[in-house]
């Protein structure tokens, strides 16, 4: 199985097209999808995502603002909201990874693509 650290990092850097990432995510077993969402939420927190990053990430992910993940990501403390998103049912998870990944991607872009040692990400340039 592909390493989710690498795949998520490639998606954030746009080295892998989002439709390919969605296909990969949907092909994971339910437990792995939940684990991947938790991992992705940790990456967002490490990238210093804020609730203000939410609307842009939702727009870039192509989601309606009324989807549960979109509503959660724009309200309250981002670390708490990302935890709630990672805990959603499998039906909702399909739409979760896109805004969360776009949030992380936006934060990385804001930092000039730099990661911190604690990010545990493979940066491919």
Residue reference for tokens 């690498």? 6
Distance CA 86, CA 96 (A): 8
CA atoms within 13 A on the CB side of 4: 19
Q: Is residue 8 part of a domain?
A: no
Number of domains in the chain: 1
pTM above 0.75, yes or no: no
CA of residue 70 relative to chain centroid, distance: 12
Residue reference for tokens 């192509």? 62
Q: Is residue 1 part of a domain?
A: no
Q: Is residue 58 part of a domain?
A: yes
- pLDDT at residue number 30: 86
Which pair of tokens denotes residue 60? 């870039």
Q: Is residue 2 part of a domain?
A: no
By residue range, what is the domain housing residue 96? Answer: 13-119
Q: Is residue 125 part of a domain?
A: no
- pLDDT at residue number 77: 85
Query: pLDDT tens track of the chain, all 125 residues?
Result: 579 999 998 988 889 998 899 899 889 998 898 889 889 888 888 888 888 888 888 887 777 888 888 888 888 888 888 888 888 766 554 455 555 555 555 555 554 554 443 333 333 32
Q: Is residue 4 part of a domain?
A: no
């Amino acid at each position: 199985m592909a390493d989710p650290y690498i795949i998520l990092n490639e998606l954030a850097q746009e080295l892998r097209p989002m439709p390919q990432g969605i296909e990969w995510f949907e092909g994971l077993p339910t437990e792995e999808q939940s684990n991947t969402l938790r991992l992705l939420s940790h990456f967002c927190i490490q990238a210093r995502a804020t609730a203000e990053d939410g609307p842009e990430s939702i727009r870039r992910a192509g989601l309606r603002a009324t989807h549960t993940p979109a509503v959660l990501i724009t309200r309250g403390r981002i670390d708490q909201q990302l935890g709630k998103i990672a805990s959603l049912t499998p039906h909702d998870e399909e739409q979760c990874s896109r805004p969360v990944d776009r949030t992380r991607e936006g934060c990385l872009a804001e930092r000039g693509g730099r990661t911190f040692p604690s990010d545990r990400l493979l940066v491919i340039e």
